[in-house]
Structure 1
């Protein structure tokens, strides 16, 4: 299975991550996260593989996150509700999201990409 790279084309961090993937010779399928966010099942799998708290998958600095007042709603939500909410709108998700080969990264930090995707 190859990598799936979920990004938002206007996102500078996403462009840096894409350049890193290309420079390091990784093959990937690029998906516009705003148009085609991961499904609930895909998100559940990514969250489980990542070992991260679901909150790490939210784009806390995004307009949509603030518009919907998600910060105040999260504490009362179940994990299933959080995943359902994320799957409804890719702009709620932290990006880029890179997934494949039993690994996941959320956001872009070059050190993380070196550790996860080079090996």
Structure 2
């Protein structure tokens, strides 16, 4: 089952959601604030994606800027990263699409077209 993790007030997330519905894909949606991913989920996804922790952070968001993570992100361990991400759902890059064989961060129409 595809998991679509998003923020309902995010216009990019809404474009991605519309795309999934137009393709008539079966998926489970999850509000990133109301049902923030757990440390365990995040750690598993980071390891599956195998691109480090940085792609999972919403670097354009206010929480990222408030916590001054730009200066700290390169020194964070996976455990420290998942602690932050699971505490502040808005820190997570969105939308987040979890499939059996891949993790997709953000919305790129050409990637969604291949689903």
Instruction: List aligned pairs for 1:40-55, cutoff 5 A.
Output: 40-55=39-54
Distance 1:63 1:36 in 2: 20
How far is the alpha carbon of 1:8 from its aligned partner?
0.4
Q: What is aligned with 1:104?
A: 103
8 Å CA contact 1:38–1:87 kept in 2: the answer is: yes
Match of 2:65 in 1: 66
Aligned length: 115
Displacement of 1:78 in angstroms is 1.2
When normalised by structure 1's length, the TM-score is 0.89
- Correspondence 1:16 to 2:15: yes
Aligned partners of 1:100, 1:114: CA distance in 2, in Å?
14
Match of 1:80 in 2: 79
Gaps of 5+ in 2: none
8 Å Cα contact 1:5-1:28 kept in structure 2: yes
CA distance in 1, matches of 2:53, 2:76: 11
Q: TM-score normalized by structure 2?
A: 0.92
2:43–2:78: 8 Å Cα contact kept in structure 1? no
Q: Secondary structure at the match of 1:52?
A: coil
